């Protein structure tokens, strides 16, 4: 496993950004790739961005959660971070956790921990699906569409070995590496996570019975609101 915590500051496309997607994600290579996504779906002027998150393992995703943000992401830079260790993936915005995806390999759910991933950023046209399911198209008279990135950093990077079940530190002390390799949400952050999911989550694959008529994915059963 690669570096456990990634942080990047973004300021999104202002005004009419409908049809555009600003992305910040981790991904491995090949047909059985792993991926951890932050995608920001543009909208018409005055309408909120949608923050789209997803997790892929061995080439399969379909684990989307979507959120509105509690601020204007085009007015200033905000920090979007991914904590990635063998037990869980935590998505955070300005140090407020918005999603926790736990390792459920014990019940047969693949978890992205065996492939190194690289960091990518992109801004692209996705007007076939990004805004209101593709009903609103990109208005090219609004071009150029510009998003700003700065202050990318990796905290406590280490290399995870699935064979030895250990995190070998690259630039940090072993005690710090041990902290990151097992970090979870404390009581305060659990409350923050619940606040975000109660007030700003607009889609959760774990509650989409129409999409999964034969039964929800197995990782959804224990705690659909946080997985």
**Which residues are marked as active site?**
35, 39
Say if residues 66 and 201 touch (Cβ distance below 8 Å): yes
Q: What is the C-alpha separation between 158 and 211, in angstroms, rounded? A: 38
d(CA 33, CA 110): 12
Q: Please give the torsion angle defined by the CA atoms of residues 110, 68, 95 and 72, in that order, rounded to the nearest 10 degrees.
A: 140
């Amino acid at each position: 496993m690669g570096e456990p915590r990634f942080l990047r500051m973004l300021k999104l496309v202002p005004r009419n950004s409908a049809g555009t997607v600003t992305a910040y994600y981790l991904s491995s290579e090949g047909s059985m790739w792993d991926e951890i996504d932050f995608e920001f779906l543009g909208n018409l002027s005055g309408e909120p961005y949608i923050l789209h998150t997803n997790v892929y393992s061995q080439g399969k995703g379909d684990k989307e959660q979507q959120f509105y943000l509690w601020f204007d992401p085009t007015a200033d830079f905000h920090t979007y971070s991914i904590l990635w260790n063998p037990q869980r993936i935590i998505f955070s915005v300005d140090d407020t956790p918005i999603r926790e995806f736990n390792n459920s390999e014990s019940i047969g759910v693949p978890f992205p921990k065996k492939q190194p991933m690289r960091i990518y950023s992109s801004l692209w046209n996705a007007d076939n699906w990004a805004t209101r399911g593709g009903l609103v198209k990109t208005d090219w008279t609004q071009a150029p569409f510009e998003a700003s990135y700065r202050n990318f950093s990796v905290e406590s990077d280490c290399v995870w070995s699935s064979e030895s079940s250990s995190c070998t530190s690259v630039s940090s002390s072993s005690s710090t590496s041990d902290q990151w390799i097992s970090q979870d949400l404390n009581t305060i952050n659990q409350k923050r996570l619940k606040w975000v999911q109660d007030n700003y989550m607009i889609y959760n694959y774990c509650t989409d019975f129409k999409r999964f008529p034969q039964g929800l994915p197995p990782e959804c059963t224990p705690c659909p609101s946080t997985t």
